[in-house]
Amino acid sequence: MGSSPSSPVLTKEVMEEYLLLTYLSEREIFRLYTMLCSLCTVDFNGTLRNFAFRFPVTSIEQLFPELMYNPFKDRIFRVFSSLRDGKMSFEDLLDLCSVMSENCPAQVKAAYAFQIFDFDEDNCIGEQDLTEALNRLIGGFGSVTSSQLSRITNTLLGKMDFTKSGSIGETEFVHALGKMPEFSIAFSFRL
């Protein structure tokens, strides 16, 4: 996005830029800014002085219970952390909140969901990625045998792998999620 690290406050110009670059409203951007100002990196006036400051994800979790209890939080933080360093800047959080906004198009949400579910980061979702996702979703909610897990992953691959490559590419993933109207609702939270 575009502010320099020395930007003293959320100016009108910076706000206009963020409005153009995100799916967030002015109220939502200001709310996020206010939330971050409540954390430790504030000056005596309570204003966030350095938009490039990188907050540890443990601090971010405290602001967003939706993420704190999400079984994919580590992947979400990794995908949206611009430096992939276990920390997030104000602009990283703007990106995250923009994608999780109800105003974000389903295709954009699905492209980010693809990155989150690509655990091995090989630009495709294979059987191991699906197994990891399923284990995270069902973890602690009963026992599923390895043969049941294998059957589920094979079924998913069979339904989503149009090219029969043995894995799901981003285009296939986005297409499949586009047929699930509840996906956009599930992949959202409000500021």
> Looking at domain 12-99, which of 2.60.40.2310, 3.40.50.720, 3.30.230.10, 1.10.238.10 is its CATH number?
1.10.238.10
Tens-digit pLDDT profile for residues 38-93: 876 554 455 677 788 889 999 999 899 899 999 999 999 999 999 999 999 999 99
- CA 133 to CA 129: how far, in whole Å? 6
Q: b/e string for 32-62 if b means 16 or more Cβ within 10 A?
A: bbebbbeeeeeeeeeebebbebbbebeebbe
* pLDDT at 115 (0 to 100): 98
Residue reference for tokens 């967003």: 64
What is the DSSP secondary-structure string of 119-172?
A: TT-SSSB-HHHHHHHHHHHHTTSS---HHHHHHHHHHHHHHH-TT-SSSB-HHH
Q: Which residues of the chain are modeled with pLDDT < 70?
A: 1-8, 40-47, 140-142
pLDDT of residue 143: 75
Contacts of 71 (CB under 8 A, 6+ apart): 136, 137, 139
pLDDT of residue 9: 75
- Number of CB atoms found within 10 A of residue 87's CB: 18
CATH of domain 106-186: 1.10.238.10
- Residue whose tokens read 């294979």: 126
CATH 1.10.238.10 location in the chain:
12-99, 106-186
